Structure 1
């Protein structure tokens, strides 16, 4: 059996759309983005720790989406090899922003996140 991970070109950092743009695709480097996808999403999925995103009510979907994205950014920041300290900090800020936008705080959800080990 072969595992495949499909990453489309829309995950790569976009050119800045202007001053003050806060899109994750404009803040995170290409290496950090790939780490987010592989170390964050793919490894969590393979471990059975990705958050369910299908057939959910809107509120549960929004919460799970924020948790899944924050988890991926935190995992990438903690475990991806060869990222700079700036890339790691940017990923952590991304995670905090995603949680804040969903009215969640790290201290309240950290036990739900797969962020302690790789």
Structure 2
């Protein structure tokens, strides 16, 4: 972590606090040179091949990596986080919220199985 400048989300963001806890648990103290509240900004810096970051795999896959940049999965320790979905209780709800809730309900059982496997 010390050889390539590290760019991370700002400390006020939940994902950054999660990353910090895991780094500290592994005995590393995060020391980013650049902080941003935008993952797009982090990816942009990483694409220059002069920066490193810790990003969700899905985001790294979304942006085509160059020949000089590669994603290195973090496989240990295995960690998981429970998240919640909060929407306003309204009747009728908007079509977008209704569709989102229907999708969340449809995948919830598979998510529960994935969490149990951790």
TMscore range, shorter length: under 0.3
Greater fraction helix: 1
Point out the structure with max Rg over C-alpha.
2
Which structure has more strand as a fraction of its residues?
A: 2
Larger RCO: 1 or 2 (CA < 8 Å, sep 6+): 1
TM-score (norm 2): 0.25
Query: TM-score, structure 1 length as denominator?
Result: 0.25
